[in-house]
Structure 1
Amino acid sequence: MEQALEEVRTRIAHAARIARRDPGEVTLIAVSKTHPAEAIARLIAAGQRVFGENRVQETAEKWPALRAAHPDVELHLVGQLQSNKADEAVALFDCIHSVDRPSLVTALGKAMAKAGRRVPCFVQVNIGAEEQKGGCAIADLPALLEQARAADLPVIGLMCVPPAGIEAAPFFALLDKLARDHGLAGRSMGMSDDFETAVMLGATHIRVGSALFGARG
């Protein structure tokens, strides 16, 4: 696992150099969903400090002891979030990547105000217009961003999951353009199979699971 982390970091740096970017501009999120605390602890020991989880309940069960032992670790929610879990998400996570609808904006705004904690957020865009995926439609993005700002959500960028089985580059390029058009610095895009392409097209956060942990537990 330590070797896998070093290899992923090397690949990020290589892709960044090709794009004439500083590798330090890219945050590697180790997606630890379904993997046990022991595996996560190994990556922490190897120097990884930013992790991603998909589900509030799994995070609440798995992470308190890890965070107590390693208070410098950052935890990102990279999966879909139900509005009724907003309070828990604000308490558990340091960043939320899946803001995608008005009801969730409202719930998160209230949860952050109640907690006195402003958690940075990405707005998830349904970049391939796939009915089965989360994310707001591209046409709805301006209105959702306006609502998020009105709710005092600290929106730092956009996130996407391109359609499977086809070339991801056009979708990453589109997300990059949308982020630029809306004055947002963050681009959460790229996973184990395509993170190098994402880095070359402007990703600031990549979400890598299997390339670090192997097959899901």
Structure 2
Amino acid sequence: MSIVQNIAEIKKKIDINKVKLVAVTKNHSATAMLEAIAAGVTSVGENRVQEMLLKHPEILAAGKQVEWHLIGHLQTNKVRQAVPLADLIHSVDSERLAVEINKAAGKLGKRQDVLLQVNVADEESKFGIEPGQALQLAKQLSQLEHVRLCGLMTIAPYAEDPETARPVFREFYQLFGELKSLQLANTDIRWLSMGMTNDYLVAVEEGANMVRIGTGIFGSRQY
């Protein structure tokens, strides 16, 4: 199916007034992104800062305004490039990274919205802070003047059967509730980013209000 048809199918399955759809554009062209935007996508997600730097001016030149989400691992040496462009950074997993974001945002007079990336399934191959450390890191972020913590992000282990991810998402939703209950100052805890092409329907059933879909919109990545 086409990009337009794929987006229409997703909209039939989830209420995009309640669940934010982030179209993951890794290894896809600005032309494909513009097709998705024309079909109603308002938020795009990039895994790499370099791709965001390349595509951002192309989308602007086309006269389109979208939210830019950085969803991939962010190295501290890329922070100064990422902060001017990113509306939301999903992948904060250390105080050191948060401090660097705070410095870069301060120089721009910006308050950078971020999510904590949590490795809820404790996979060695994935980035993210351990669940038991998440609330403490959240407290540390709430002290930073130019960072605003807006919620949590996780990546469930991939499996052919999306039901395999349900316990992971359920546990993560509980952690999200604990974070909200802290009522930390200088935060806006509202986004629970979990669920991708293979498992987003299960994620939404378990409380996700932000899903990150790439292949389900654009098809297989072009390398």
Same fold (TM over 0.5): yes
> Which structure 2 segments of 5+ residues have no match?
181-188
CA distance in 2, matches of 1:67, 1:175: 36
Q: Per-residue deviation at 1:71?
A: 4.3
Q: Where does residue 211 of structure 1 map in the other structure?
A: 216
CA distance in 2, matches of 1:143, 1:54: 26
Deviations along 1:118-164, whole A, 9 cap, x unmatched? 12111000011111210001121122111111113211100000112
Larger relative helix fraction: 1
CA contact (8 A) 1:27 1:205 kept: yes
| TM score, norm. by length of structure 1 | 0.92
Q: Where does residue 111 of structure 1 map in the other structure?
A: 104
CA distance in 1, matches of 2:104, 2:54: 21
CA contact (8 A) 2:59 2:65 kept: no
Which runs of structure 1 show a deviation greater than 4 angstroms over 4 or more consecutive aligned residues? none
CA distance in 2, matches of 1:142, 1:49: 30
Q: Where does residue 199 of structure 2 map in the other structure?
A: 194
For these two proteins, the number of residue pairs brought into alignment is 208
Local SS of the residue matching 1:157 = strand
Local SS of the residue matching 1:63 = helix
CA distance in 2, matches of 1:70, 1:76: 19
**Residue number among 113, 127, 133 corresponding to 1:140 in the alignment:** 133
Letter in 2 for 1:10: K
Q: Are 1:155 and 2:149 an aligned pair?
A: yes
Deviates more, 1:48-57 or 1:160-169: 160-169
Q: Are 1:164 and 2:158 an aligned pair?
A: yes
CA distance in 2, matches of 1:155, 1:101: 13
Q: Where does residue 5 of structure 2 map in the other structure?
A: 3
Over the aligned positions, Cα root-mean-square deviation in angstroms equals 1.2
Q: Write out aligned runs for 1:35-50 (5 A).
A: 35-50=28-43
CA contact (8 A) 2:102 2:112 kept: no
CA distance in 2, matches of 1:71, 1:90: 20
CA contact (8 A) 2:94 2:137 kept: yes
Identity %: 39
Q: Are 1:27 and 2:32 an aligned pair?
A: no
Letter in 2 for 1:78: I
CA distance in 1, matches of 2:63, 2:176: 33
Q: Per-residue deviation at 1:211?
A: 0.5
CA contact (8 A) 1:189 1:198 kept: yes
Letter in 1 for 2:197: S
Letter in 1 for 2:55: K
Q: Where does residue 170 of structure 2 map in the other structure?
A: 173
CA distance in 1, matches of 2:32, 2:190: 32
Q: Per-residue deviation at 1:90?
A: 0.8
Deviates more, 1:28-37 or 1:139-148: 139-148
Local SS of the residue matching 2:152 = strand
CA distance in 2, matches of 1:25, 1:6: 16
Q: Where does residue 81 of structure 1 map in the other structure?
A: 74
> Which structure 1 segments of 5+ residues have no match?
14-22
